[in-house]
Amino acid sequence: MNAKLKFWIVVSLVAVFAIGVAVGYFGERYVVHKRHESRGDRRGDGRPSHFPTVETLSKDLGLSQEQQDRIREIFKSNEVRLEAFSGEFHKRLGELRGELMAEVKAVLTPEQKAKLEARINEFKEKRRKEREARDKGEAR
């Protein structure tokens, strides 16, 4: 195997790993944030663990009704934009992961591909079990 091919294999594997870390980090923050927000969790210091609601801002800042209405509109329009961005991000990320995996698999032998698929399936199963255990713990 020549040095250039080895270099691209390493770069591809590092990129796949980095993307996995980024998705795990941001995905976890998004999922946990949504769960905490829906349960009204707090950090332990009495402050909410998410951006304050319009009602909280109104109380803290003494907002007029007009200001409250305008801020609600801003929140609503940004929620739609963020959801659109999130969907686009996840779609593009999936495409990129697929491309990177195809490049990696192009370098592997059939036996190595089978081992890689087995490792991926093990990882997915482990994540599924962890998610189920976490969901059961939250249901209590």
Q: What is the 3-state secondary structure (H, E, C) of 49-113?
A: CCCCCHHHHHHHHCCCHHHHHHHHHHHHHHHHHHHHHHHHHHHHHHHHHHHHHHHHHHHCCHHHH
Cα end-to-end span (Å), the chain: 55
What is the structure's pLDDT at 64? 92
What is the structure's pLDDT at 44? 47
Residue 97: count of CB within 10 angstroms of its CB:
15
- Would you say residue 102 has pLDDT above 90? yes
Q: Cα 87 from chain centroid?
A: 11
- Would you say residue 2 has pLDDT above 80? yes
Q: What's the rounded Cα separation, in Å, for the pair 31 and 45? A: 22
Show the tokens assigned to 114.
């089978």
What is the structure's pLDDT at 8? 86
What is the structure's pLDDT at 34? 62
Confidence band, pLDDT 50/70/90 cuts, at residue 84: confident
Q: What's the rounded Cα separation, in Å, for the pair 14 and 8? A: 10
Provide mean pLDDT across the span 112-119: 93
What is the structure's pLDDT at 96? 93
